[in-house]
Structure 1
């Protein structure tokens, strides 16, 4: 096993700006790489060409050369029957990069997406994805890379699985962690730059940033958002603009001098490592090097980050930091069966809709995080935790606290959670520490630590002793002080008065001696007393005065948030006065917040902008069941509808459910909803249609699919998340879709189209190097005189590109796929039921 230069790399990272290399694929294609062929295979077949490209980048001034292993993992190599060569391909790539840099450059082992999508967005389990990344990363680390670069991740769960795999191999190897974002600064799955930072910090990456998908203008906005919150240095690898087709070749609009105009802007925005992605060249890398040579010391100052004191958590877009330098964090307590019969009943019956409504109400009332506890006897708690986390994170966008005494439930919840969770809890028992610390390491979660062992110490010193033991175990495992929030124990004041007072001292001791964040389970303090809220709210105010940072509490109590803000005015917490004035300047009354809103009021905020379809109350419920992806609730609502309206089954599908899925597509197009929401809605639609279908024929409506679409990801491209969601959407509108999968040769597409009498060929590509396959197929389609209409899409595929290759249709995103397919069919003269429009959206034409 070779040893990488870890400390040398970290020393360079901490003292100067670094240059990463640029595009590999474009330069290989100029040297003869066939369209659709795997570049990774050339590590064995044509290593001299790979080395020549990397020598160019090294000569241009790159400090870091990335190995040619972006797709050298199990699923992607399987597409080329080369999985048996995985070790050799990755190991050889490290040797090539090392030779090309002549030991003067650092070698970064490249890990790209797995080639599949992780549950709940896809079907691949977190553990399976972890194994895929582990296998590749292990070879790269053993081959002596100086750092690992994880890049082009648009799904945060895949990002987490890759980071987890690398960290399980080595707590010491440096990691550069990079996600890919769209022009609106969010990923395709709705992840924000700030959430990406929180995830990367949870796995103790050394650098975090963005690459691919967009040009320098849009990426600068991503970097600026990351800099506002990151304690890590930043990396940026922009594309040379959005690709276009010119003379039958995919080209990027920005040349090296044009890209060079952004170099200082990136450094001033806080970038520590700058390189290039698709379409960039050695000339651009040379310009970066020249800029550093001329002004490196001055520009380096912009990249310096401030060490954070606090624990960062995240949802898909929102982040929260629990700590003394940040506003008090309110964590909703209501999704917990302890002492709550109705919640326990909902969990036992699998009524996730009721829990989703509880989550929505608490978020609306001001909760900044939510505690999720599903600990009811005799249920499958790990599965229930997974199901509830999946559902709740699509309803509210605030960080989750995954709360269970069973380590399996902590992992099942953490492995389906899109952001960085707080795992509740561990204590000082060795067995508990042995169980939960590996889960925190694998999921990247922070931990909530009870200052107990087998008994609850009454004194502050006793609790501090256990806190020190827990912290030392965490530090020994490679975690940090920012990865733990200590529960100082809210004891029942009516039974343990001295212990309750000692809790306030415990908060002070942990803050002062350990430098860690603190939390209380607030409601415990008032147990057994009348007028409980006055007791525990008074206790909360006192605890804040002693330095408490957060509490799990009843956020629905009237005016509790303003009391917290007022208490913070009398502390040393920064910006407490400004925060109070900003949020609480309007007159406040003592009106109580309603405790029991009807379940139907737990709607998403998009309800206010919904189309007016003149529906009755039950039809409205079903409409929102689709939009909000309520897979359990829709069953009851449709069964209720069928009790008296069986003859209207098809009308319900056509006039209520179909507009619902259309409206969701419109929200997706406006970036109000994201791929996980589409998945949940598609499943709800599938459930609803299954219930209605037996009644379609009885009403004379034979809704068998009439239109056939053959869908494929083009040859050489093995990304299929967008394709899979498009297929779900088309099927929900009655299209018969033949899914050919990924990396599909042209002949196979035509063969399937002829055999299935298809009307439309739908082609997807996520790589700029494979877009040319679309042009080749369209040319062959015309040459053969085939009747098939061709629709194209995918992240790099623009409407201009679609026009240039004479595609019949183009969809910008998943939300527009149905409208575009209908437009094509209308032009052909089809007027089937699947093409009826609704007021919910306008048909969008993308080409």
Structure 2
């Protein structure tokens, strides 16, 4: 298939980019990696499944194949005793993503993320963080990434360091830099999110914004404030959970049955409906958010809603919901058994007292 337009070209033309993230949660649900460490071991153990997930997300409407290197860095692999497979994991993930992107005329992005070792005012920790970024960025460049996603930073300082490393080691590749909003409306180093995004913009980031942490309802107010101060294209990739002002992040959500922390294994009790996701995506489109997607908890049926809200008709739209064809709830006369009305009343009426 032909080469697609690049990230910056599309954004400058006021086009949108739909992006599927959420690989870690998807594979944890499948029993292919461990909740807790959240290391993408599956890239080495079952690469065919990663390739298939890339294809599934493209089928649902993703314009980007994001190499599955999130938490595939040196420190996280050390935690599970597989640091000797670091380069193998990264190169394999990048090569698979490149192959799927080439075959589907989509973009391929390298991915760096929070290192878990960064500590502001600690030169040794900062140097270690830079080395983690450096090697992953260089591998992404060598394996043909179209741009680099740097994401899920709690500190503006770490996000700024990631951007500096992309500029230093990325051979001119465009950058998408996203902060993670926790319960407070500022980064861990005390900078409001609008100010933090503006500082990243001023430092040369091509796209800035927020990802992960908050759900659609609680990330949206922040995006509206960021939109007021930033001129570069903005990214927004929340988690698809029903967060509230009282429980603004997926980590603060409480299981409705037990009252205990829902993160991570009981989060399904808080999942958004598809209509909710579509309405949020429509709001983001109206706000002018060009780089749009979903993070942890994402699945293909959610992403299709986002893509369609942004005016797309991906292959998966062939199977978008059409209840007119349902033998009970539809309205087609050629698909109406004689007992439809009786059955409709029976299955939609609650008789519990």
- The question of a shared fold, defined as TM-score above 0.5 by the shorter chain, is answered with yes
Aligned twin of 1:26: 25
Q: CA deviation at 1:117?
A: 2.7
Aligned twin of 1:286: 304
Aligned twin of 1:93: 93
1:266 aligns with 2:284: yes
Q: Provide the secondary structure at the position in 1 that maps to 2:310.
A: helix
Deviation per residue, 1:91-129 (Å, 9 max, x gap): 111122233342421111111111213232x67443332
The TM-score with structure 1 as length reference comes to 0.33
User: How many Å separate the matches in 1 of 2:192 and 2:276?
Assistant: 28
1:182 aligns with 2:182: yes
Q: CA deviation at 1:244?
A: 5.2
Aligned twin of 1:12: 10
Matches within 5 A, 1:188-203: 188-203=188-203
Q: CA deviation at 1:85?
A: 2.1
Q: CA deviation at 1:204?
A: 1.5
User: How many Å separate the matches in 2 of 1:11 and 1:153?
Assistant: 26
Task: Work out whether residues 18 and 291 of structure 2, in 8 Å CA contact, stay in contact via their aligned partners in 1.
Answer: yes
User: How many Å separate the matches in 1 of 2:284 and 2:39?
Assistant: 29
Aligned twin of 1:227: 227
Aligned twin of 1:83: 83
Q: CA deviation at 1:34?
A: 4.2
User: How many Å separate the matches in 1 of 2:190 and 2:288?
Assistant: 24
User: How many Å separate the matches in 2 of 1:108 and 1:198?
Assistant: 23
Q: CA deviation at 1:239?
A: 0.9
Q: CA deviation at 1:214?
A: 0.6
**Pair 1:235–1:169, CA change in 2 (3 A):** same
Q: Provide the secondary structure at the position in 2 that maps to 1:109.
A: strand
**Pair 1:246–1:280, CA change in 2 (3 A):** farther
Using CA pairs below 8 Å that are at least 6 residues apart, which structure has the higher relative contact order?
2
Aligned twin of 2:275: 257
Matches within 5 A, 1:510-549: none
Task: Work out whether residues 65 and 105 of structure 1, in 8 Å CA contact, stay in contact via their aligned partners in 2.
Answer: yes
Q: Provide the secondary structure at the position in 1 that maps to 2:290.
A: strand
Q: Provide the secondary structure at the position in 1 that maps to 2:236.
A: strand
**Pair 1:77–1:258, CA change in 2 (3 A):** same
Q: CA deviation at 1:61?
A: 0.7
Deviation per residue, 1:648-678 (Å, 9 max, x gap): xxxxxxxxxxxxxxxxxxxxxxxxxxxxxxx
Instruction: Give the superposed CA RMSD.
Output: 2.4
User: How many Å separate the matches in 2 of 1:6 and 1:165?
Assistant: 26
Task: Work out whether residues 167 and 203 of structure 1, in 8 Å CA contact, stay in contact via their aligned partners in 2.
Answer: no
Matches within 5 A, 1:245-394: 245=255, 249-251=266-268, 252-293=270-311
Q: CA deviation at 1:177?
A: 0.5
User: How many Å separate the matches in 1 of 2:256 and 2:92?
Assistant: 35
User: How many Å separate the matches in 2 of 1:288 and 1:197?
Assistant: 23
User: How many Å separate the matches in 2 of 1:282 and 1:33?
Assistant: 18
**Pair 1:45–1:294, CA change in 2 (3 A):** closer
User: How many Å separate the matches in 1 of 2:187 and 2:64?
Assistant: 26
Task: Work out whether residues 40 and 69 of structure 2, in 8 Å CA contact, stay in contact via their aligned partners in 1.
Answer: yes
User: How many Å separate the matches in 2 of 1:6 and 1:191?
Assistant: 37
Deviation per residue, 1:556-591 (Å, 9 max, x gap): xxxxxxxxxxxxxxxxxxxxxxxxxxxxxxxxxxxx
User: How many Å separate the matches in 2 of 1:39 and 1:132?
Assistant: 15
Aligned twin of 1:370: none
Task: Work out whether residues 256 and 280 of structure 1, in 8 Å CA contact, stay in contact via their aligned partners in 2.
Answer: no
Task: Work out whether residues 216 and 238 of structure 1, in 8 Å CA contact, stay in contact via their aligned partners in 2.
Answer: yes
User: How many Å separate the matches in 1 of 2:27 and 2:47?
Assistant: 11
| Structure 2: gaps of 5 or more residues | 242-249, 258-264, 314-353
* Pairs aligned (count): 290
User: How many Å separate the matches in 1 of 2:254 and 2:104?
Assistant: 37
Q: Provide the secondary structure at the position in 1 that maps to 2:182.
A: coil
